[in-house]
Amino acid sequence: MIPKDHPRYRSLVARERIARCAREGVVALEGLAAHGRGEAFDYLIGEKTTESAALAARTAAAMLLSARHAVISVNGNTAALAAAEIAALQRASGADVEVNLFHRTEERIERINRLLTGNGVRVLRGTPERLVPLSHDRALCLPEGIGDADVVLVPLEDGDRCAALREMGKAVITVDLNPLSRTARTATLTIIDEVTRAIPAITAACASLAAGEAERLVASLDNTYLLRAAIDEMRERLAHALE
């Protein structure tokens, strides 16, 4: 049992969960390393949703709600950490959910499908095809899912898959704590926040966008501004860290 009054309580709970999911074959071992990189950046933003991340989450809601076909692409880490949060976002946005893995095996896809379904997600199923311009199995996606989407939300994505989705002409929304990653810099919109805070923020925004606000948010989207704001936040915290 992790003591509730531990100062790193949320982080320890997340670690326990992601380690358990790795033992169960939901999370790839490489996913543990990716999580650690994310944690380091979370420290630097103060483990809270910054103002610019809140704006990004609101803009993400606007993009999902105004899409012709929005799809949420879920990998092992996202399923392990945020299955229930994905279910709530699916209800609020009407987006399809597709499981898509960097380290892809049919067994892992099945395990993740089960975890998501058990948390109330309606998972899109079908026969994947090599539609994403990448070599090997990383090209696989569902023609009626990501293949058809105009807007894709891909939390914790790898840089070259993000770039390949952009090459396909899709608007890509990502959640990534590292503002320097290739994913963060390649996406149409980057939410620099921890996935279990970012997804509920998008869900809440879906329910509270005012008339005309979605159009305004999408029209004024400036991802470079959002990346700079996150870096400024980190720089500011580092400058005053020992005061």
**Smallest distance, Å, CB 79 to Mg ion?**
18
**Residue 103 within binding range of Mg ion, rule CB under 5 A:** no
**Distance from C-alpha of 110 to C-alpha of 36, rounded to nearest angstrom:** 25
- Could you tell me the CA-to-CA distances from 231 to 43, 45, 184, 218, 228 in Å, in that order? 13, 9, 12, 22, 5
x/- contact string, 156-175, with Mg ion (CB under 5 A)?
--xx----------------
**Distance from C-alpha of 230 to C-alpha of 193, rounded to nearest angstrom:** 9
**Smallest distance, Å, CB 156 to ligand ATP?**
4
Positions in the binding site for ligand ATP (CB under 6 A): 34-35, 37-38, 41, 77, 81, 156, 158-159, 175-178, 181-183, 194-195
The reply, when asked if residue 8 is annotated as ligand binding, is no
Identify the sign of the CA torsion 48, 222, 178, 152: positive
Q: Which is nearer to ligand ATP, 22 or 177 (CB)?
A: 177
**Nearest residue relative to ligand ATP (C-beta):** 38
**Distance from C-alpha of 175 to C-alpha of 2, rounded to nearest angstrom:** 27
Q: Which is nearer to Mg ion, 96 or 176 (CB)?
A: 176
194 binds, among Mg ion, ligand ATP, none (CB under 5 to 8 A by kind): ligand ATP
Contact 188, 221 (CB under 8 A): yes
38 binds, among Mg ion, ligand ATP, none (CB under 5 to 8 A by kind): ligand ATP
**Nearest residue relative to Mg ion (C-beta):** 158
**Distance from C-alpha of 196 to C-alpha of 62, rounded to nearest angstrom:** 19
**Distance from C-alpha of 238 to C-alpha of 150, rounded to nearest angstrom:** 38
Strands 171-175 and 189-191: parallel
The reply, when asked if residue 178 is annotated as ligand binding, is yes
The reply, when asked if residue 37 is annotated as ligand binding, is yes
Extract the tokens encoding 22. 């790795």
**Residue 102 within binding range of Mg ion, rule CB under 5 A:** no
Closest residue by Cα to residue 132 from 95, 172, 93: 172
The reply, when asked if residue 176 is annotated as ligand binding, is yes
Q: Which is nearer to ligand ATP, 96 or 176 (CB)?
A: 176
Task: List interacting residues with Mg ion (CB under 5 A).
Answer: 158-159
Binding site members for ATP: 15, 37, 176-178, 182-183
